[in-house]
Amino acid sequence: MKRRFLPAPASGNATAAALSVAAALMLIPANLLPVLSTETTGENRDDTIFSGAMQLWQHNLAPIAIIVFAASIAIPVAKLVGLTWLLLATRRGPARRPLVLTRIYNLLDGIGRWSMLDVFLAAFLTGLIEFGEFATVRARAGIVAFAAAVILTVLATEAFDPRTIWNSQPDNRPTPTTP
């Protein structure tokens, strides 16, 4: 059996569905509230996840902006879309095109951790930049909602049982592995 952090649900992937909905709800405040505030002499600035990535872009740091955008916006959204697809496809019995769904599942399982980038970034900057009125960076409420959303998507992927993609598929006997 797949080892779970959460107890197995009574039927199907109900826990994964519930966690996905919770993650989707958490992404709303995560993207609307500021995640970081920067105070420098004569200038105060609140940044949301999106405006933080845009600021990097405007400062001619396009590759870094793309990394932040991918980790903080694209991956969480892709995870939720992918999970929704998996949950809908496995809702009633065996899924069509199980190989494609398995690849999606493996991809979601692998990329989810990179979303934590913004959380580490906020923690690091808050700890390092404390120069009173000259320069101070503080983490704001949005980052808490964002971290919650990331954790919920990780737990949702873990709660999803990938065997439901293959249930009732033929060929469930021991076979030699092929390289």
Partner 1 sequence: MSGPPGSLECPVCGLRHLAVGLAPGEKARCTRCETVLARGRRLGPEAPFVFALSGLILAVPACLLPFISAGKFGDQRVSLLFTGVGALWDNGMRALSMLVLFCGGVVPVGLLLALAVLLAPAWRDPSGIRRRELTRLATFLERWSIPEVQVLAVLVALFKLGKLVEVRIGPGFWCYCGMTLLLLLALRGFEISHLPGGKANPAADAPP
14 touches partner 1 (CB under 8 A): no
Q: Would you say 143 and 35 are in contact if contact means Cβ atoms under 8 Å apart?
A: yes
Q: Which is nearer to partner 1, 92 or 173 (CB)?
A: 173
CB of 80 to partner 1, least distance (A): 19
Closest CA to 52 of 152, 129, 143: 143
163 touches partner 1 (CB under 8 A): yes
Task: Measure Cα distances from 59 to 35, 63, 107 in Å.
Answer: 19, 11, 32
Work out the number of other CB atoms within 10 angstroms of the CB of residue 3: 5
85 touches partner 1 (CB under 8 A): no
Q: Would you say 95 and 163 are in contact if contact means Cβ atoms under 8 Å apart?
A: no
99 touches partner 1 (CB under 8 A): yes
- Left, alpha or beta for 170 (phi > 0: left; psi -120 to 50: alpha)? beta
Q: Which is nearer to partner 1, 80 or 95 (CB)?
A: 95
Distance of CA 103 to the CA centre of its chain: 17
Among 22, 61, 70, 74, binds partner 1 (CB under 8 A): 61
Among 18, 33, 70, 125, binds partner 1 (CB under 8 A): 125
Work out the number of other CB atoms within 10 angstroms of the CB of residue 1: 6
84 touches partner 1 (CB under 8 A): no
Site of interaction with partner 1 (CB under 8 A): 1-3, 5, 38, 40, 56, 59, 61, 64, 67-68, 71, 98-99, 102-103, 105-106, 113-114, 116-131, 134-135, 138-139, 143-144, 147, 151, 154, 158, 162-163, 165-166, 169, 171-179
